[in-house]
C-alpha cells in the first residue's frame, strides 16, 4: 500500500503530501478536525481555497452588517477560508486590536463553519514584559518561558486564549476546528517574538510550550497548528526556528507585493515581476520542506494593498501559485481608509474596485475553491 502511494505521489507531482505519512500532531483530535485535515490532505495539489481576513465583519465601505462580505458582493459566493485575529483576548478585552468585538467574531466563526468553510486564527498578542503591543520588540520570549519572570502572566494569557478557542462551538456542542497560527512571521524583525529578539531554541520552546499547554493541559483538540514565516532569502531562514514534525501540521508563508502609492505603470510592472519571483522561490522551499516533513502548506497572508493592478488576481497571483500544493491563499483585511496614514488599506476587491472583473475570472478557475464548493465537499465529515 505504502509503495503504491509513494509511486502515486511521484506521478502526481514531486511535492504532493503523501497521505500515508500525513498525520495530525494531536492524536486526540476531534472527528471534525480529523475530517477537515484528511480533506485538506486529499485536496492538496488539486485545489487551492481562497481566504480573506475579517471578511464577515467589515468591508471598505461598511461595518458589522449581517450577511455582507466584500467578496460576496463581487462573485456572489463567500471565501472558503475566513481569517481572524485574537490580539487583545489575552487581557480579556471585549474587542480585538482592530476593534472587532470578540462576541461578534465568535458569531462569524460559527457562521463560517456552517457555511462549510474553514476558520484560521492568528494572535497579535501584546508584549507580556512591557504591556506594549506586538510591535513592541522589547525582549520577552525568554522571560515568558518556564522559569522566566513573566511565565505565570503568559500562562494566564494562554488560559484566556484556550477559553476563547473552546467557546467556539455549534449549538450542538461541536467544537469548531481552527487552523491556529500563533507567533507568526517569526523570521521578521517587527514582532517581539521575531528573529532578532530570541534564539532559535527560545522560539521553539515557546512554540512547544504553547502547543503542549493548549493540547495536553487544556485538552483542546480542535486545532491544526500552522507554522509561519514571512518571505525569506534562503532555506535556512525558513527552517531555523522550525519546531519539528511533532509540533506542526502545516507550513506557511506570508508575503505581500508593495509599490509606492504613486507608482507609474512601469514601476507596477517591475514590482509585479519582483513579487512573482520571490513568491515562487519561497513557495518552492515551503513545498519541498512540507513534502519532506509530510505537512500541509499554505500562503497564509498575501495581497497588494489597494490592488492597483487590474489583472493582479489571475496574471500575478494565480499564475504564480497554481502549480504549488498549497491548501489555501488568504488576503488580508479590507479596513478601508486609514486616516492616520491617509491611505486606503484593503487587499480584497469590492464592488466597483478596479480588479473586480479579474477577480471574477479567478473565481472561475477550476483549481480555486470558494465556500459554495467547500460546502459540497463537506469538510467536517
Ligand atoms: C496589519 C494591519 C494593521 C492590523 C494588523 C492586525 O497588517 O492590517 O492595521 O492591526 O495587521 O490585524
- Encode pLDDT of 195-215 as tens digits: 999 999 999 999 999 999 999
DSSP string, 97-110: TT--BHHHHHHHHH
Pocket test for ligand 1, best of 87, 124, 126 (most atoms within 8 A of CB): 124
pLDDT at residue 2 greater than cutoff 60: no
H-type alpha helices, 214-310: 235-239, 265-293
Grid cell 525569506 — which residue? 232
Grid cell 466584500 — which residue? 70
Question: Could you tell me if the CB of 97 is within 6 A of ligand 1?
Answer: yes
Backbone angles phi and psi of 327, in degrees to 5: -75, -40
pLDDT tens-digit map of 241-257: 999 999 999 999 999 99
Atom of ligand 1 nearest to the CA of 124: 6
Q: How far, in Å, from the CA of 85 to the mean position of ligand 1?
A: 9
pLDDT tens-digit map of 5-18: 544 444 445 688 98
Question: Could you tell me if the CB of 153 is within 6 A of ligand 1?
Answer: no
Instruction: Please give the pLDDT value at position 16.
Output: 86
pLDDT tens-digit map of 132-182: 999 999 999 999 999 999 999 999 999 999 999 999 999 999 999 999 999
**pLDDT above 90: percentage of residues in the chain:** 95
Grid cell 505519512 — which residue? 21
Question: Could you tell me if the CB of 295 is within 6 A of ligand 1?
Answer: no
Active-site entry in 90, 293, 301, 305: 301
Instruction: Please give the pLDDT value at position 8.
Output: 46
Active-site entry in 185, 202, 293, 305: 185
Q: What cell numbers appear for 231 in the block?
A: 518571505
Q: How far, in Å, from the CA of 331 to the mean position of ligand 1?
A: 12
Q: How far is Cα 314 from Cα 323, in angstroms, rounded to an integer?
A: 13
Grid cell 494565480 — which residue? 318
pLDDT at residue 3 greater than cutoff 60: no
pLDDT tens-digit map of 286-300: 999 999 999 999 999
Report the b/e string of 196-206 with b at 16+ CB within 10 A.
ebbeeebbbbb
Q: How far, in Å, from the CA of 65 to the mean position of ligand 1?
A: 21
Question: Could you tell me if the CB of 205 is within 6 A of ligand 1?
Answer: no
Mean pLDDT value across residues 330-355: 97
Q: What cell numbers appear for 317 in the block?
A: 497571483
Backbone angles phi and psi of 240, in degrees to 5: -55, -40
The verdict on whether 301 is a catalytic residue reads yes
The answer to whether residues 347 and 303 touch, using CB atoms and an 8 Å cutoff, is: yes
Question: Could you tell me if the CB of 155 is within 6 A of ligand 1?
Answer: no
Q: How far, in Å, from the CA of 332 to the mean position of ligand 1?
A: 8
Question: Could you tell me if the CB of 98 is within 6 A of ligand 1?
Answer: yes
Atom of ligand 1 nearest to the CA of 335: 8
CB atoms within 10 A of CB 81: 27
Instruction: Please give the pLDDT value at position 31.
Output: 98
Pocket test for ligand 1, best of 97, 190, 304 (most atoms within 8 A of CB): 97
DSSP string, 125-177: ---TTT---TT--S--HHHHSTTSTTHHHHHHHHHHHHHHHHH-B-TT-PBPP
Question: Could you tell me if the CB of 240 is within 6 A of ligand 1?
Answer: no
Mean pLDDT across the chain = 96
Helix 102-114 × helix 151-167 angle, to 10°: 50
Question: Could you tell me if the CB of 333 is within 6 A of ligand 1?
Answer: yes
Q: What cell numbers appear for 316 in the block?
A: 500575478
Ligand 1 atom 7 nearest Cα: 332
Q: What cell numbers appear for 379 in the block?
A: 469538510
Q: How far, in Å, from the CA of 86 to the mean position of ligand 1?
A: 12
Mean pLDDT value across residues 253-281: 98
Grid cell 507608482 — which residue? 263
Ligand 1 atom 4 nearest Cα: 98
| Pick from 5, 15, 9: nearest CA to 286 | 15
Instruction: Please give the pLDDT value at position 15.
Output: 84
The answer to whether residues 363 and 317 touch, using CB atoms and an 8 Å cutoff, is: no
Mean pLDDT value across residues 70-92: 99
The verdict on whether 240 is a catalytic residue reads no
Atom of ligand 1 nearest to the CA of 98: 10
Instruction: Please give the pLDDT value at position 13.
Output: 58
Question: Could you tell me if the CB of 184 is within 6 A of ligand 1?
Answer: no
Question: Could you tell me if the CB of 85 is within 6 A of ligand 1?
Answer: yes
Question: Could you tell me if the CB of 344 is within 6 A of ligand 1?
Answer: no
3-state secondary structure of 238: helix
Amino acid at each position: 500500500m505504502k509503495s503504491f502511494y509513494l509511486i502515486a505521489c511521484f506521478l502526481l507531482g514531486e511535492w504532493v503530501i503523501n497521505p500515508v505519512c500525513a498525520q495530525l500532531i494531536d492524536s486526540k483530535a476531534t472527528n471534525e478536525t480529523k475530517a477537515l485535515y484528511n480533506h485538506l490532505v486529499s485536496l492538496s495539489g488539486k485545489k487551492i481555497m481562497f481566504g480573506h481576513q475579517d471578511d464577515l465583519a467589515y468591508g471598505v465601505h461598511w461595518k458589522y452588517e449581517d450577511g455582507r462580505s466584500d467578496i460576496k458582493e463581487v462573485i456572489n459566493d463567500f471565501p472558503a477560508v475566513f481569517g481572524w485575529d485574537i490580539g487583545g483576548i489575552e487581557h480579556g478585552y471585549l474587542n480585538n486590536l482592530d476593534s472587532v468585538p470578540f462576541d461578534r467574531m465568535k458569531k462569524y466563526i460559527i457562521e463560517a463553519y456552517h457555511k462549510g468553510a474553514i476558520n484560521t486564527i492568528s494572535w497579535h498578542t501584546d508584549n507580556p514584559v512591557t504591556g506594549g503591543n506586538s510591535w513592541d520588540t522589547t525582549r520577552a520570549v525568554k522571560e515568558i518561558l518556564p522559569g522566566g519572570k513573566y511565565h505565570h502572566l503568559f500562562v494566564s494569557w494562554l488560559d484566556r486564549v484556550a477559553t476563547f478557542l473552546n467557546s467556539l462551538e455549534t449549538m450542538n456542542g461541536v467544537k469548531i476546528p481552527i487552523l491556529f497560527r500563533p507567533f507568526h512571521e517569526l523570521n521578521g524583525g517587527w514582532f517581539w517574538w521575531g528573529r532578532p529578539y530570541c534564539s532559535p531554541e527560545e522560539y521553539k520552546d515557546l512554540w512547544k510550550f504553547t502547543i503542549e499547554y493548549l493540547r495536553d493541559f487544556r485538552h483542546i483538540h480542535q486545532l491544526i497548528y500552522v507554522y509561519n514565516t514571512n518571505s525569506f532569502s534562503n532555506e535556512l531562514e525558513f527552517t531555523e526556528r522550525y519546531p519539528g514534525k511533532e509540533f506542526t501540521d502545516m507550513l506557511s508563508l506570508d508575503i505581500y507585493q508593495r509599490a509606492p502609492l504613486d507608482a507609474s505603470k512601469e514601476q507596477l510592472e517591475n514590482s509585479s515581476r519582483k513579487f512573482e519571483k520571490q513568491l515562487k522561490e519561497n513557495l518552492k522551499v515551503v513545498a519541498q520542506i512540507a513534502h519532506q516533513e509530510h505537512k500541509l502548506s499554505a500562503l497564509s497572508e498575501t495581497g497588494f494593498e489597494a490592488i492597483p493592478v487590474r489583472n493582479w488576481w489571475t496574471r500575478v497571483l494565480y499564475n504564480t501559485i497554481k502549480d504549488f500544493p498549497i491548501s489555501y491563499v488568504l488576503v488580508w483585511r479590507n479596513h478601508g481608509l486609514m486616516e492616520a496614514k491617509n491611505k486606503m488599506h484593503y487587499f480584497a476587491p469590492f464592488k466597483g474596485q478596479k480588479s473586480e472583473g479579474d477577480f471574477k475570472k479567478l473565481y472561475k478557475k477550476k483549481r480555486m475553491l470558494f465556500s459554495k464548493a467547500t460546502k459540497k465537499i463537506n469538510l467536517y465529515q
